Amino acid sequence: MMKAVVMNGVGGSEVLEIAEVEVPKPGVGEVLIKVHAAGVNRPDVIQRKGAYPPPPGASPLLGLEVSGEIVELGEGVASHKVGERVCALTPGGGYAEYCVAPAAHVLHVPAGMSMEEAAGVPETFFTVWSNVFDRLGLQSGEKFLVHGGSSGIGTTAIQLAKAFGAEVFTTVGSEEKAQAVRELGADYVINYRSTDFVKEIGNITSKQGVEVILDMVGGDYVEKNWIVAAIEGRICQIATLHGPSENVNFSRLMMKRLTHTGSTLRPRTNEYKGHIAEALHEKVWPLLESARVKVVMDKVFDISDVRAAHDRMEGSSHIGKIILKVA
């Protein structure tokens, strides 16, 4: 048996409890990880509220990324060994003392990185790489806009886009957050509470716009993104925190020949996620190990304080990653 966070129904953070559950067994192509730390992500909050059920066969427990030590190999696993310090993208189950993950989604902890930092790598780096670089094809010299620049996704996207030669624009909600993302390399930081980002980006780019946009907001931002996008710009929607968009002017999409796509990572195939892991190992791990790119840490909570961790995530005052320490 092991300790894990379980949901006593759906709703606010009060439904989260610590309980004893069975230790999972690794299946074919999987590994069992003794968890040191787990990342807290927005999808965890949405699942807790009952709006983001785990895919078929996945653990019902929360937690999409962990760091820890491999303690058991499933049948057919030759790419890893028992005792290896790793971080992993998981289909669920990370808020626990032990967690199963597909071996192809497991990567060694980058040299020089703490286990708490490593727990904050998989979900955001897999998401940013698969959407910004794989799906939207961001190129050196292009202008890139990410909304929510101080979030885990935002801080990761800013650094990776900058590292690969893009000119980076971002929106944030406070001066404290603005200063934090400037230190990460953002070229243009717009406080959306005090400045109209559509007008500001138009002024900065002489109304030429930005080539690539990563958006987590949705709602009224959909049409605003179409306005600030360059001709033949590419936009990817990975969340809709402002809800669905209504009454958008599709003529903007047509006249600019825009591509507006979207994706969610969790339901993608293990094979696809494995390809992303390979790309990260080749192209991003050297940046992490040389400290050219880092995991921006907001706060580490003990797993017993999981409710407070979720409250902080929902309050949106965090800058970077929120982590649960399990071991």
How many other CB atoms sit within 10 Å of the CB of residue 16?
19
Among candidate residues 247, 262, 277, the one where a domain is terminated: 262
Could you tell me if 154 and 272 lie in one domain? no
Q: Determine, yes or no, domain membership for 144.
A: yes
Q: Determine, yes or no, domain membership for 130.
A: no
Could you tell me if 185 and 303 lie in one domain? no
- Please give the pLDDT value at position 327: 86
Could you tell me if 16 and 29 lie in one domain? yes
User: Per residue in 196-220, pLDDT tens?
Assistant: 999 999 999 999 999 999 999 999 9
User: Per residue in 166-190, pLDDT tens?
Assistant: 999 999 999 999 999 999 999 999 9
- CATH number of the domain at 94, please: 3.90.180.10
CA dist., res. 214 & res. 92, Å (int): 24
Q: Determine, yes or no, domain membership for 117.
A: yes
Could you tell me if 101 and 151 lie in one domain? no
Could you tell me if 111 and 142 lie in one domain? no
Could you tell me if 151 and 246 lie in one domain? yes
Q: Determine, yes or no, domain membership for 129.
A: no
Q: Which of 27-31, 118-122, 249-253 has the lowest mean pLDDT?
A: 249-253
Q: Does residue 160 carry a pLDDT above 90?
A: yes
- Please give the pLDDT value at position 75: 98
CA dist., res. 314 & res. 48, Å (int): 12
Among candidate residues 208, 227, 262, the one where a domain is terminated: 262
- Please give the pLDDT value at position 46: 95
> How would residue 245 be classed by pLDDT, with cut points 50, 70 and 90?
confident
Q: Please state the separation of Cα 231 from the chain's center in Å.
A: 28
CA angle 278/280/281 to nearest 5° reads 65
- CATH number of the domain at 201, please: 3.40.50.720
Q: Does residue 244 carry a pLDDT above 90?
A: no
Mean pLDDT of 97-102: 98
CA dist., res. 275 & res. 32, Å (int): 21
Q: Does residue 194 carry a pLDDT above 90?
A: yes
Written as one letter, the residue type at 282 is E
Query: What is the H or E stretch that residue 88 is in?
Result: strand 85-89
Characterize 232-256 residue by residue with b for buried, 16 or more Cβ atoms within 10 angstroms of its Cβ, and e for exposed: ebbbbbbbbbeeebeeeeeeebeeb
Q: Determine, yes or no, domain membership for 131.
A: no
Helix, strand and coil percent figures for the chain, each rounded to 5: 35, 30, 40
CA angle 319/164/102 to nearest 5° reads 70
User: Per residue in 62-80, pLDDT tens?
Assistant: 999 999 999 999 999 999 9
Q: Does residue 295 carry a pLDDT above 90?
A: yes
Could you tell me if 114 and 8 lie in one domain? yes
Q: Residue 287 is encoded by which pair of tokens?
A: 């940046």
User: Exposed, middle or buried, 161 (CB in 10 Å: 0-12/13-18/19+)?
Assistant: buried
Could you tell me if 228 and 297 lie in one domain? no
Q: Determine, yes or no, domain membership for 82.
A: yes
- Please give the pLDDT value at position 281: 98
Mean pLDDT of 306-312: 98
Q: Does residue 99 carry a pLDDT above 90?
A: yes
Query: What is the H or E stretch that residue 145 is in?
Result: strand 143-147
Could you tell me if 194 and 173 lie in one domain? yes
Mean pLDDT of 131-152: 98
How many other CB atoms sit within 10 Å of the CB of residue 162?
18
Among candidate residues 262, 289, 316, the one where a domain is terminated: 262
Comparison of pLDDT for 232 and 248, the residue scoring more: 232
Cα radius of gyration rounded to whole Å, the chain: 20
Mean pLDDT of 19-39: 98
- Please give the pLDDT value at position 246: 78
Q: Does residue 247 carry a pLDDT above 90?
A: no
Counting the structural domains of the chain, the total is 2
Could you tell me if 258 and 141 lie in one domain? yes
Q: Which domain holds residue 213?
A: 136-262
Average pLDDT, the chain: 97
Could you tell me if 206 and 149 lie in one domain? yes
Could you tell me if 249 and 144 lie in one domain? yes
Largest CA distance in the chain: 61
